[in-house]
Structure 1
Amino acid sequence: MEYFQVMQTPLGKVTLLSDGQSFLGCWFENQKHFGGKYDLTKAEESDTLVLQKAKQWLTDYFAGKAPEIATLPIKLKVTSFQQQVLQALQQLPYGHTVTYQQICHLITDDEQRAKNLSRAVGHAIGANPFMIFIPCHRVVGSDGSLTGYAGGLARKKALLTLEEADFQE
């Protein structure tokens, strides 16, 4: 069984999903890829312990703290390549940005392969089922500019501003 909660944040409502043991995802209302690979219409509204922890994590985050993702029992329902990309994203420190190409280099030492991975990395980042928690908002263009974000560029800018990260508008 899957359980959900909707939480109001400073950037709008987010839907949090759990299976009771693990945290399965977080999506902004009306974002691209809402619900990811889950059918949220089949989930039951319930305030499980996992969802309580996720809500506390978000509360701390929006209060300007840098909560650790390791405190949540995350379960990824993604391909092995997406998992590599999301694991690389989890290494990004609060308040820092990285380019798509730098992510490519984090997942392979092969220079030629890294050059060809940008599009696939971008797709994996765009389908991230853990908005904010796995910080895809910290990925910027090669010139430091804001690029795509499934939650919308205004939210991406707000998240980076909260973290006092450097980026180009």
Structure 2
Amino acid sequence: MCDYNYYQTPASFDDLVMVSDGVFLTGLYFTCDPHLDKQAITLSKRDLEIFKMTRAWLDAYFLHHECGQCPPIKIEHATAFQQEVYEILKAIPYGETVTYKDIAKRIAIKRGMTSMSAQAVGQAVGSNPIAIMIGCHRVIGSNGKLNGYRGGLKNKKALLNHEKS
């Protein structure tokens, strides 16, 4: 059974739902995320230590303070390729963006391949269950446009604007 709790964001963002296995943060979703099981989040709402740590990290993020190390995260059911993409996402600096194509090139070089599908990278980015902390909002299209975001394009744009202010 998973535990859930809420985080109230500043006004320009949708609120967040934190999910935990009791020890690790296993999900951080905007309330508009279509993958969020809205019925389940009413079943087990407890205030765990991991949620307190997550709130402290998010408070620092939204106040433009140094966030420090993320709370302990565990991503379940991710493929090796998705994990590889998530590691790249974690390394994107605050306030910066990269393209899906950039990530695909990095993985291709690392694997000794001539190319890698940017669409495959996009699917992996879109499966990220930890919003904000794993910076999937920092990935944009090669044309500079904001492409799909599980947490909604409104939140993606707000996060990028927040990081540039």
Same fold (TM over 0.5): yes
* Counterpart residue number, 1:44: 44
Query: With structure 1 as the length reference, what TM-score do the two structures score?
Result: 0.86
For residues 104 and 28 of structure 1, the distance between their equivalents in structure 2, rounded to whole angstroms, comes to 26
- The number of residues matched between the two structures is 159
CA distance in 1, matches of 2:91, 2:43: 31
Aligned to 1:21: 23
Q: CA RMSD in A?
A: 1.9
TM-score under structure 2 length normalisation: 0.88
Contact 1:146 1:157 in 2 (8 A): yes
Partner of 2:32: 30
Extract structure 1 runs of 4+ deviating beyond 6 A. Answer: none
Q: 2 CA distance for matches of 1:81 and 1:43? A: 32
CA 15–41 in structure 1, closer or farther in 2 if over 3 Å, else same: closer
Q: Residue in 1 aligned with 2:60?
A: 60
Identity of aligned residues (%): 38
CA contact (8 A) 2:32 2:152 kept: no
**Amino acid aligned to 1:151:** G
Unaligned runs of 5+ in 1: none
Structure 2 residue runs of 5 or longer lacking an equivalent are none
Cα distance in 1 for residues equivalent to 2:56 and 2:148: 27
Q: Deviations over 1:88-133 (max 9, x none)?
A: 100100000000011112223145332xx21111011111100111
Query: Conserved in 1, the CA contact under 8 Å of 2:6 and 2:15?
Result: yes
Residue matched to 1:163: 163
